[in-house]
Amino acid sequence: MMDLAVINGLVFIEGGFRKADVGIKDGKFALIAEPGCLPEAERTIDAGGKYVLPGGIDTHVHYRDPGHWERETFEVGTRAAAAGGCTTFFEHPISMPPQWNGEILKNRISICKGEESAANDRHEKGSCVDFCFFGAAGGEHPEAIEPLSHEGIIAYKTFLHEAPEGRDAEFEGLTSANNDQLYRVLEEVKKTGLAVAAHAEDNELVTGFIKRLREQGRQTENIAHCESRPPIVEIEAISKMLKFGKDVGCPIELVHVSTWQAMELAKKAKAEGQPVMVETCPHYLLLDESYVEKYGAYAKCNPALRKKEDVERLWDYVKDGTVDFIGSDHSPFLVSEKEKKDKDGNKDIFLSPSGFPGIDLRLPLMITEGLKRGVSLEKIVELLSVNPAKLFHIFPQKGTISAGADGDLVIVDMNKKVTCHAEDSYSQAKGIMKVYEGWQLDCAVDSTIVRGRVVYENGKVDESASGWGEFVKPVLKK
């Protein structure tokens, strides 16, 4: 007998959709059968008229435990993940402290699991979906980089710029702001066989542009943020990252790429055989700098949003395969942080932290807007699930509906129209969710299933599923 059967849906199997029934037992896919051919199940979900996709894998998430639980916890934030069809997320550093050594990493994992431990001093119940962790790699603790690879991390993360003003503790061991530091980081990561993900913005240019704009008194203008981080900031940093990565022989990931020029650099490097992974985010494909002018700090992100014509051009690189996967870069903050003023009570756009939530909208946004632009649903599934699993060495445990894989599914209703409203989000940071308010979605997540457990259905998260999530480790080929 199956534990769970999902029947009559259009199921994504081996790169395409066909009508099939899916049986899950003991948390794994046990049988993929022709309609009507499954054995009896404890519970059956009729997915007739709906699409059944492998569980979503969000490659770029920043929850805030420990250090800033008031922004968002694993317990609450992963409910938003479940509501958005995400069954596995990749947690990046920028906790306080970030995971630059094994002890810090184990503490974060303990909180994410909802374990009773000294680290989990707030008795959080933990994640309702599965999770992987990036390790921090920076110039402060290069000796800790290689040992961290033995703790089950999926990749490393480094920032090519200094810590933002007032956030040094969140970026400890995470920055490679000069060439010597970056080269050393790449050398250390190469020893592990893992990739290093680069937040690629040129430190000197960003620092100089902000200084100049402040001297001009323009910190009160929303658009000054975009002007402090023009395309050249990313282009220059990605050019350097590609050169250094090639010279050292270290696999690299370029996260949240926002410019077509940087995409061209990555495309060329990939064509030459360099091991490069490319991520972009929904906001770089959909939002332009007019959103910063309208919403100010609520639309502030790093890299900055670009001009409208450049935004649409990024879709070319989604279609041609330059982009490997789409991450949300989910970044929760408080309203008070977004509204931060200077010591005299005046507005200063540079003092507000960058980033906003998006884990619950990644899948419906990409399906809605991708289909409008001629991207097939099959391609979207690859970007949101299959490719992350394969490239980060968790396939075939994740990213596939096939016998023996984890029973992770998202059922999508392609006939249901939804209007985005922040108040409907499960995110703890819904108060800063402005940029997609009123956005029309042409589909909706019907159900989310993690290792055979239904964690979201009928518009509601099963809050008793907190702590169900498991730590997923990569399996590297020898």
At 86-105, the pLDDT tens digits run: 999 999 998 888 999 999 99
CA distances from 70 to 126, 146, 337 (A): 15, 32, 11
Percent of the chain with pLDDT over 70: 100
Whether the predicted pLDDT of 366 surpasses 80: yes
Tokens 């009570």 label which residue? 345
- My answer on whether 115 and 251 are in the same domain is yes
CA distances from 471 to 68, 128, 199, 287, 367 (A): 21, 11, 24, 33, 28
**pLDDT tens, 65-85?**
888 999 999 999 999 999 999
User: How far is it, in rounded angstroms, from Cα 257 to Cα 281?
Assistant: 8
Q: Indicate whether 170 belongs to any domain.
A: yes
Whether the predicted pLDDT of 122 surpasses 90: no
Structural domain for 246, as ranges: 55-391
Q: Indicate whether 474 belongs to any domain.
A: no
- Other beta carbons within 10 Å of 357: 30
pLDDT for the residue 478 = 62
Whether the predicted pLDDT of 321 surpasses 80: yes
CATH number at residue 259: 3.20.20.140
Q: pLDDT class for 119, splitting at 50, 70, 90? A: confident
CA dihedral (428, 196, 399, 69) in degrees, to 10, reads: -20
- My answer on whether 22 and 99 are in the same domain is no
- Long-range pairs for 238-241: beta carbons < 8 A, 24 or more residues apart: 238/198, 238/200, 238/262, 238/265, 238/266, 239/265, 240/160, 240/179, 240/182, 240/200, 240/202, 241/160, 241/182, 241/198, 241/200
- My answer on whether 33 and 169 are in the same domain is no
Whether the predicted pLDDT of 116 surpasses 90: no
Whether the predicted pLDDT of 142 surpasses 80: yes
- My answer on whether 174 and 295 are in the same domain is yes
Whether the predicted pLDDT of 118 surpasses 80: no
User: How far is it, in rounded angstroms, from Cα 449 to Cα 299?
Assistant: 31
**pLDDT tens, 261-293?**
999 999 999 999 999 999 999 999 999 999 999
Q: pLDDT class for 2, splitting at 50, 70, 90? A: very high
Compute CA 462 distance to the chain's CA centroid, rounded to the nearest angstrom: 22
- My answer on whether 47 and 59 are in the same domain is no
Whether the predicted pLDDT of 120 surpasses 90: no
Q: pLDDT class for 169, splitting at 50, 70, 90? A: confident
| Mean pLDDT taken over the chain | 97
Q: pTM for the whole thing?
A: 0.97
Whether the predicted pLDDT of 165 surpasses 80: no
CA dihedral (212, 216, 220, 224) in degrees, to 10, reads: -40
How many domains does the structure of the chain reveal? 2
- My answer on whether 42 and 74 are in the same domain is no
